[in-house]
Amino acid sequence: MSVIHLRALSGGALIVLLLVSGSVFAQESADRQNYLDVRTVVQKEEIVVGDEGETTTRLVAADRVLPGERVVYTITFTNVGSEPADNVMVTNPIDASLTYLQGSAFGAGMRVEFSADGGQSFAAPEALRVADGNGGERSAEAEDYTHVRWTLPGVLEAGTTGVARFSAVVD
């Protein structure tokens, strides 16, 4: 186990270095963590208007993003180890400049929960409460969410990949 621990750490150090350098190619290099390989991709949701006025949505690179536009985050996690992984939970913070798009979080077979307190506690949307500023509580709105969390019931078998996704609007 100690070997695993060290390799996981070295992977983390690599990420930090890339962050400092500001490289946009971090996603290319942060692979081969032990047991789990986790990647995030951000794309922009673009509406294509056809000749008949019909619209379809497609995802394009997030190279030109303006306030009011939607971005989609896709997190893929692959069990690159030799043993099944269990208790798999994917936690993703929602940037301060983003508002979670209600109903957009998706992950096949996974339970989706949210946090409105910086990731300290998670609950389903209908159970999530926040302070109303008047000493009471109210239901949390999408703009209150600070984190999304997906929980995979059962195990992630060796060699298999899970996908979690959510959309947000740039404030």
Partner 1 sequence: MKTVNRRLSFLAKLGLMASLLFSGQQALAQTAAGTPVNNTASVSFSVGGIPQTAVDSNEASFVVDRRVDFVLNQVGTALTPVTPGLDDVFVEFVLQNDSNSALDFDLAQLTLANGDPVRGATATGAAMDAVTIEVAEFPASGGDPDPVLGAGRTAVTALAPGDTIRIRVYADTPLTLVNADIAGIQLNATAALGGAPLTETAGADRLDEVDNVFVNGADGGGNATESQTDGFSVTAADISAAKLSVTVEDPINGATDPKPIPGAFVQYSITVTNNGGEAATGVSVADTLDLTLVALRDGAYNGGASNVDLGGGNFCNADADATDGCTYDAGTGAIAIATPDIAAGGAATVSFQVVVQ
- In the three-class reduction of DSSP (H, G, I as helix; E, B as strand; rest coil), residue 33 is classed as coil
The full length of the chain comes to: 171
DSSP class of 125: G
Interaction site with partner 1 (CB under 8 A): 1, 4-5, 8-9, 11-12, 15, 18-19, 22, 24, 26-30, 33, 35-42, 44-51, 55, 61-71, 73, 75, 77, 81, 83-93, 95, 97-98, 156, 164, 170-171
Q: Is 140 exposed, middle or buried, given 0-12, 13-18 or 19+ CB atoms closer than 10 A? A: buried
| Residue 142 vs residues 1, 17, 24: alpha-carbon distances, Å | 40, 33, 28
Nearest distance in Å: CB 123, partner 1: 18
Nearest distance in Å: CB 157, partner 1: 12
Which residue, chain included where needed, has tokens 């394009």? 60
Q: Which is nearer to partner 1, 13 or 126 (CB)?
A: 13
Nearest distance in Å: CB 159, partner 1: 14
Q: Which is nearer to partner 1, 7 or 129 (CB)?
A: 7
